[in-house]
Amino acid sequence: MIFEINKDQRIVVNASAGGVAIESSNLRERCPYCGSAYCYFSCDQSQHDDKQENEAEVKQRQLYNAAIDGLESLIIALVGVGVASEDKLRLAITEALDAIGNRF
């Protein structure tokens, strides 16, 4: 299942007899220096330059990405048990992303 949220955000969920997994996702915010979604002032570039992102912004990105981790876990669970149709799940993902974006 491919859930295109908008032209920049999408998540691909693979559901098979073996289980459900996130095949790819670009929902997380990325480090403006190295492009990693898991870098929080750990790359060489960010340690020497705080013009693009300061510590408070890094903390916000970290909290946002933690919320996305939770959303992805919920998506896996919902797809796994067949709770919703693809259209309803897409709408729920969009609404959840909007709520997360408004929170952070």
Q: What is the pLDDT of residues 61-99, one digit of tens each?
A: 999 999 999 999 999 998 888 877 888 888 889 899 999
Query: In a 3-state reduction of DSSP, which class is residue 22?
Result: strand
Q: What is the DSSP string of 35-91?
A: --TT-SS-SHHHHH--SS--HHHHHHHHHHHHHHHHHHHHHHHHHHHT-S-HHHHHH
Asked whether residue 62 is assigned to any structural domain, the reply reads yes
Distance (Å) of CA 104 to CA 57, 81, 97: 10, 30, 11
Asked whether residue 2 is assigned to any structural domain, the reply reads no
Report the pLDDT value the prediction gives residue 47, as an integer from 0 to 100. 64
Of 61 and 1, the structure prediction assigns the larger pLDDT to 61
Report the pLDDT value the prediction gives residue 7, as an integer from 0 to 100. 81
Of 26-30, 41-45, 76-80, least confident by mean pLDDT is 41-45
Report the pLDDT value the prediction gives residue 66, as an integer from 0 to 100. 95
Q: pLDDT digits over 45-59, tens only?
A: 766 666 778 888 889
Asked whether residue 18 is assigned to any structural domain, the reply reads no
Report the pLDDT value the prediction gives residue 49, as an integer from 0 to 100. 65
Asked whether residue 76 is assigned to any structural domain, the reply reads yes
Tell whether the model's pLDDT for residue 24 goes beyond 70: yes
Report the pLDDT value the prediction gives residue 73, as an integer from 0 to 100. 93
Asked whether residue 98 is assigned to any structural domain, the reply reads yes
CA angle 51, 67, 62 (to 5 degrees): 25
Domain housing 75: 28-103
- CA 68 from centre of chain: 4
Asked whether residue 16 is assigned to any structural domain, the reply reads no
Q: How many domains does the chain have?
A: 1
Spell out a b/e string for 26-58, using b for 16 or more CB atoms within 10 Å of the CB, else e.
Answer: ebbbebbbeeebebbbeeeebeeeeeebeeeeb
Asked whether residue 94 is assigned to any structural domain, the reply reads yes
